[in-house]
Amino acid sequence: MTRPASPTAYRTLDPAGIRAFLAAQPALAARLGGQPDVWRVHEVSDGNLNNVFLVDGPAGGICFKQSLPHVRVDPNWKMPLDRTAFEAAYLRAVRPHVGDLTTELLHFDPDLFVLVVESLDGHVVLRHGLMQGGDWPDAAAAIGRFVARATFPTSPLALKFEDASTLLAPFARNHTLTRITVDLVLTDPYHPHPRNRWLSPELDATVAALRADPAVRRRVGQMQARFLTCQQALLHGDLHTGSVMVSGSDTRVIDGEFALPGPIGFDCGLFVGNLLMHLFATPAPEGRARALRDIDRFWTHFRQDFTTLWTNAIACGQSGDAYAAPLFRDDPASLQQVQTQFLDDIEADTIAFAALEIIRRTTGYAHVADFDLITDRTARAARQEAALRLARDMLAEPARTPTISALGALAAARAA
């Protein structure tokens, strides 16, 4: 999966190069239909790392994604190319379990680090859609189902340890992007670092207080250890609202390049953290009500689906080596107890990782448009400060937000 690219083979493809590349792949060319000169190639790069193009032909479309030898939004930040290889591997691993909650992998080229997936033309990025006041009532539940279906079957709850190890080991070598997460999400925001930035000097005192708070540092350290040592399942690794595309009731998770083995609450926490930031950023009361509804729907559906998958695996005698079926098949009360404890632990992780996501997206390197596009500087600073204070309490005083439901109630009161 991560074999070194031939140093002479890689080149960044421009639209003409993309057309020639696709023309040389019979299955992709047939999917587009017609002759290459009528194919429309247009760039839709939106994330921080890669080039992304949509290509349309008379018969259909595809999405073309290529790693760059640097961060897309910062050409001085050099980076190995292997991230699309991890995204391809993630799609191969989870697509059989999640189906159309993600995209179909059509092609991967290991020399050019090109990934081709089905086109989601007509879909919008959930973050952008929410910012424009859109509502996708089914999306959060679908993401809850996605996380359950991508994590349970890739964990030792469902797999024999040999199979879990074989599946997860290659993803433990996703060093480049895991290093980004370790630095940008889990470490840099808690000490002075040249990559950190926040848009309003009004936040200086809040950031200083956050960094000076020993309870925050203790909890952040604990979550660093949890992220690096608790390999519960295969994670998406970057499940924010920009990694979700929606159209009507169709919801797709994209961009699995940060995939790694880790604690399931990390994926949950990133999604919840981004909904919380949307809640704090949006001035419209109905938008805030929808964000709260979506946090609740996400969590309820994740918990239900995960529990059902687990119960069915035990009933069929097809569980993995953790909480193995022979111990629980005839003891539903004990099974229910261990399930409740396991899910409660994920809930605690979710709340803490959501807090880390809020802090890094307001005071670290990579921000979110929900906040950054607020033009009224005073209003923006006030909303970011309220979100940061909530994040501080989620980390330092977890008893105030022991559940997602309690977190929603406190967030609603603070964002109003």
Please report, as ranges, the residues that interact with Mg ion according to CB under 5 A.
47, 255
| 357 near ligand SR1, judged by CB under 6 A | no
Of 213-242, which residues contact ligand SR1 (CB under 6 A)?
238
Closest CB 47 distance from Mg ion, rounded Å: 4
Residue 410: CB minimum distance to ligand SR1, A: 25
**Min. distance of Cβ 379 from ligand SR1 in angstroms?**
25
Residue number with CB closer to Mg ion (83 or 278): 83
184 or 388: CB nearest ligand SR1: 184
Tell me, what DSSP letter sits at residue 186? Answer: T
Q: How many residues does the chain have?
A: 416
Choices 44-52, 111-119, 146-154, 375-383 (CB under 6 A): range interacting with ligand SR1:
44-52
Q: How far is the CB of 415 from Mg ion (least distance, A)?
A: 26
- Contact code string over 164-183 relative to ligand SR1, x by CB under 6 A: ----------------x---
User: Residue 235 Cβ, how far from Mg ion at the closest point, in Å?
Assistant: 14
- At residue 11, φ and ψ (nearest 5 deg) are -150, 150
**106 lies in the site for ligand SR1, by CB under 6 A:** no
Residue 147 makes contact with ligand SR1 by CB under 6 A:
no
Burial class (CB in 10 A: 0-12, 13-18, 19+), 163: middle
Angle between helix axes 332-363 and 377-396 (nearest 10 degrees) is 140
Question: Binding partner of residue 220 among ligand SR1, Mg ion, none, CB under 5 to 8 Å per kind?
Answer: none
Q: Of Mg ion, ligand SR1, none, which one sits near residue 184, judging by CB under 5 to 8 A according to partner kind? A: ligand SR1
From the list 34-42, 43-51, 148-156, 293-301, the region that binds ligand SR1 by CB under 6 A is 43-51
The answer to whether 114 and 55 are in contact (CB under 8 A) is no
**Of the candidates 13, 18, 47, 307, which one interacts with ligand SR1 according to CB under 6 A?**
47
Return the residue of 49, 55, 81, 354 that touches ligand SR1, per CB under 6 A.
Answer: 49
Q: In this chain, which of 228, 338, 366, 386 binds ligand SR1, going by CB under 6 A?
A: 366
Q: Count of CB atoms within 10 A of residue 250's CB?
A: 16
Paired tokens of 120: 């989601």
Taking CB atoms within 8 Å and a gap of at least 24, the contacts of 61-64 are 61/32, 61/119, 61/121, 62/22, 62/28, 62/31, 62/32, 62/106, 62/116, 62/117, 62/118, 62/119, 63/103, 63/116, 63/117, 63/118, 63/119, 63/120, 64/18, 64/21, 64/22, 64/114, 64/115, 64/116
Output 79 or 343, the one with its CB closest to ligand SR1: 79
Alpha-carbon distance of 274 to 298, in angstroms, equals: 12
Instruction: Decide if 310 contacts 233 (C-beta within 8 A).
Output: no
Residues 62-81 that bind ligand SR1 (CB under 6 A): 71
Q: Does 253 bind ligand SR1 (CB under 6 A)?
A: no
Q: Looking at beta carbons only, is 236 or 290 nearer to Mg ion? A: 236
The DSSP symbol for 258 reads: G
Beta strands, E only, 14-73: 40-43, 51-56, 61-66, 70-71
Locus of tokens 């309870």: 215
* Interaction between residue 369 and ligand SR1 (CB under 6 A): no
Sequence-ordered list of residues with C-beta below 8 angstroms from that of 242, at least 6 positions apart, any chain: 46, 47, 125, 126, 127, 255, 274, 368
Examine residue 395 and tell whether it contacts ligand SR1 (CB under 6 A): no
Q: Which is nearer to Mg ion, 158 or 239 (CB)?
A: 239
Which residue among 5, 94, 140, 184 contacts ligand SR1 (CB under 6 A)?
A: 184
Which partner, Mg ion, ligand SR1, none, binds residue 188 by CB below 5 to 8 Å per kind? none
Residue number with CB closer to Mg ion (206 or 251)? 251
N-terminal to C-terminal alpha carbon distance within the chain: 48
**Contact set with ligand SR1 (CB under 6 A):** 47-49, 71, 180, 184, 238, 366
